[in-house]
Amino acid sequence: MKNVLILASGRGSNFEAIVKYFLSKKRNDVNFKLLCNKKDAEVILKAKKLGIEANHLDFSDFSEYFKNRKFDLVVMAGFDRILNEDIIKTNTFINIHPSLLPKYKGLDAIKKAYVNRDNLTGITIHYATESVDEGEIIYQKQIKINPCWNLSKLEKEIHKKEHYYYPRVIEKLLGLNVLVVGSGAREHCIIDKILQSKFLNKLYIADCSDIFLDFGEKIEFKSYSELAKKAKDNNINLVIVGSEKYLCGGIVDIFKKENISIIGSDKKNSRLEASKLYAKKIMNKYKIKTSPYKKISNKNKVDKYIYYFKNPVIKADGLAFGKGVFFDNDRMKVKSELFKFLSGKYSEASRTCLIEERLFGYEISLFSFWDGKTLLNMPLCQDFKQNDEGLNTGGLASICPVNLDSDEKNKLKKYIKKVENMLRKEKIKTPFVLYSGLIVCKDDIYVLEYNVRLGDPETQVLLNYIENDWLEIFFAQANQMLDFVKLKNKNVELTCVVLASRGYPLKTRKNIEIKNLSDLLHRKNNAKIYFSNIKKDGDSYFSMGGRVMSIVSSDKSLIYKILDDIDFEEKMYKKDVEFMR
């Protein structure tokens, strides 16, 4: 149970917003109390209506009150007195102020911004000190002042922002209960970063392999509705979804109905990944450059379309988990493969296909975090999908960052503006990650495909390249607070190489022991190892086929030393990973 004391002196609109927010989440692990220095204040009546214990105390007695009382957080919400150092040092105090500090400290901050005809104002949530409005800033939100507003309208806009953001900042500071859904190396990396966060209270995991059990508490479920109910029962504040199978299956829609914060695309907008045809239509709608294409679902039209393009590429319309793409210089091989696609090589996903013109250039991966209002673009990555036989896989290696020349950067900026316009015009409010699979050609940057999630293995390099507290980024994304996030990048290039089972992406052997993995985990030093298809039995580790693990480091020689040392008879990995321009 988290114990929170709210200090207030007046009407209590912020107090009311805070309590109602936590009641709407049906949180049973937070206990609020009100302490007021005015016995006839309206806030006391509001507390009683909300069932919150309210106490009145003369301010002269506050020092004595706080001497032997500890709270997880003390929240100042319209409190009209200055706390001295003896009180401040007893607990963690936070305050909200109606300006963009350090501007307009103290009284009448809203009026000062209005009288001075400022273009911008806002709110600041900060740690409280004995000096007025001097503490470390936790969050700020800007407000553009409309010249047509009167003072009353400006005050209302300020209060709207206070009532939205103050409860959410409190929620974060109290510590977050987080659920990660999925079991691949991507999810392992996400978990690794969340476990390092100062804002984590407890980690839960779902639909994961037993090898993840050391990281958090596992939640078993048979349906997304059951998982959402268990998430609510466990006071989970934030859910992070890894794989497209959950997103396209509608998990986000279920959690949104239960008012549980979740990062991921809803089922409707997951069509950007679930249907290549839908994605193409959206790109064309917003004049986003992509390769010309034709839709085909009738085998009798193969001959007609296979010769329509000079260098044809075929793609399964539906989800094929990174494998539903084929091209070859031999048109007859492409034609043969197209028949296999249409005959159900990837089940229903490939019974409808696209044939498009192959583009030539180098590929890059852009991950854009969207919170419903703000787009935060991550450093560029590069993904290596083809194995040594030229077959497309889910990804065998990645690097971050990728550096563009000045002309390419300008083209990327133009593309990003189109993406942001697309997200706004399509009125997408759900926080999610848009993956743009891009190809840099001589004339421009084109989109190869969209995904609606973090990629694997790009996640493994991206999350290690950015030094921020990742749980803070995810929480900001879920609560329309990305505008305050400033990314801090490492001054290194990171490489990820995937260890896979021989034969991947086709048939692979399973249940093969990795004989010395325990020893390697103890001496990995400057490398990170993330698990994919591995199970643990006692102290022994076994491959379950496909991609087995990812190894990340700024030292490529160390990665290959670890890969060479792994005693696994089925091992296969990409050699000599270098940036491909």
Cα pseudo-dihedral 66, 70, 71, 76, rounded to 10: 20
Burial class (CB in 10 A: 0-12, 13-18, 19+), 242: buried
Single out the residue of 298, 293, 297 nearest to residue 308, CA to CA: 293
Confidence of residue 367 (pLDDT cuts 50, 70, 90): very high
Q: CA 11: distance to chain centroid?
A: 37
Q: What angle do CA 127, 132, 134 make, to 5 degrees?
A: 50
| Residue 208 near residue 198, CB atoms below 8 Å | no
For residue 322, pLDDT beyond 80: no
Q: What is the pLDDT of residue 386?
A: 85
- pLDDT tens, position by position, 457-498: 999 999 999 999 999 999 999 999 999 999 999 999 999 999
Structure-token pair, residue 205: 């995991």
Q: How do strand 93-97 and strand 120-127 relate by DSSP bridges?
A: antiparallel
Structure-token pair, residue 175: 């510590």
- Indicate the average pLDDT of the chain: 95
Q: What is the pLDDT of residue 519?
A: 85
Q: What is the pLDDT of residue 305?
A: 86
For residue 534, pLDDT beyond 80: yes
What is the rounded CA–CA span in Å between residue 495 and residue 523? 19
Q: What is the pLDDT of residue 378?
A: 98
For residue 524, pLDDT beyond 80: no
What is the rounded CA–CA span in Å between residue 99 and residue 344? 60
> Burial code of 471-480, b = ≥16 C-beta within 10 A, e = fewer?
bbbbbbbbbb
Q: What residue ranges do the domains of the chain occupy?
A: 2-173, 176-263, 292-358
For residue 211, pLDDT beyond 90: no
Instruction: Answer whether 0.85 is exceeded by the pTM.
Output: yes
Give, for 229, the enclosing helix (H) or strand (E).
helix 224-233
Confidence of residue 335 (pLDDT cuts 50, 70, 90): very high
| Residue 285 near residue 271, CB atoms below 8 Å | no
Q: What is the pLDDT of residue 114?
A: 96
Single out the residue of 546, 501, 539 nearest to residue 517, CA to CA: 539
Architecture of domain 176-263: 3-Layer(aba) Sandwich (3.40)
Residue type for position 499: L
Q: What value does the mean pLDDT take over residues 202-209?
A: 94
- pLDDT tens, position by position, 31-53: 999 999 999 999 999 999 999 99
Q: What is the pLDDT of residue 495?
A: 97
| Residue 526 near residue 553, CB atoms below 8 Å | yes
| Mean pLDDT lowest among 70-79, 165-174, 338-347, 408-417 | 338-347
| Residue 267 near residue 249, CB atoms below 8 Å | yes
- pLDDT tens, position by position, 155-178: 999 999 999 999 999 999 999 999
Give SS3 for 168: helix
Please indicate whether the domains covering 2-173 and 176-263 agree at the CATH topology level.
Answer: yes
What is the rounded CA–CA span in Å between residue 498 and residue 185? 9
Structure-token pair, residue 8: 């207030």
DSSP state of 290: B
For residue 523, pLDDT beyond 90: no
Give, for 294, the enclosing helix (H) or strand (E).
strand 293-296
CATH class of 292-358: alpha beta
| Residue 96 near residue 103, CB atoms below 8 Å | no
Check the CA dihedral 87-88-90-94 and report its sign: positive
| Residue 401 near residue 581, CB atoms below 8 Å | no
- pLDDT tens, position by position, 383-429: 998 887 878 788 999 999 999 999 999 999 999 999 999 999 999 99
Q: What value does the mean pLDDT take over residues 256-271?
A: 96
Q: Does domain 2-173 have CATH number 3.40.50.170?
A: yes
Q: How do strand 325-327 and strand 353-357 relate by DSSP bridges?
A: unpaired
